[in-house]
Amino acid sequence: MVTPSPTLAAECGLARLDYHALVGSTMDEAHRLAQAGAEAGTLVLADAQESGRGRGGRSWVSEPGAGLWMTLIERPRDQHALDVLALRIGLALSDALEPFCEGRIRLKWPNDLFVGAGKLAGILIEARWRESLPEWVAIGVGVNRRIPEAFPDATSLREDIPRDDVLRAMLPAMRRAAAQPGRLTPEECARWAERDLAFGRDILEPRAGRAMGIDATGALLIAESRGAMYAARSGSLVFAGEAQ
pLDDT level of residue 148 (50, 70, 90 thresholds): confident
Same domain, 174 and 219: no
Domain with 92 in it: 8-185
Q: Report d(CA 182, CA 127) in Å as an integer.
A: 17
Name the DSSP letter for residue 55.
Answer: G
| pLDDT score for 22 | 94
Q: Report d(CA 222, CA 211) in Å as an integer.
A: 5
CA angle 125, 126, 129 (to 5 degrees): 135
Mean pLDDT of the chain: 93
Segment holding 147, helix H or strand E: none
Q: Is the separation of the CB atoms in 213 and 196 below 8 Å?
A: yes
Q: What is the pTM of this model?
A: 0.93
Same domain, 141 and 205: no
Same domain, 104 and 203: no
pLDDT digits 0-9 by tens, 75-108:
998 999 999 999 999 999 999 999 999 999 999 9
| pLDDT score for 60 | 60
| pLDDT of 5 over the 90 cut | no
Same domain, 165 and 224: no
Determine, yes or no, domain membership for 70: yes
Q: How far is CA 112 from CA 10, 89, 106, 145, 191, in A?
A: 28, 10, 9, 15, 15
Q: Is the separation of the CB atoms in 155 and 120 below 8 Å?
A: yes
**Which of the listed residues 139, 163, 185 is the one where a domain comes to its end?**
185
Q: Is the separation of the CB atoms in 135 and 74 below 8 Å?
A: no
Q: Report d(CA 144, CA 148) in Å as an integer.
A: 8
Q: Report the domain count for the chain.
A: 2
Q: What is the CATH number of the domain that holds 72?
A: 3.30.930.10
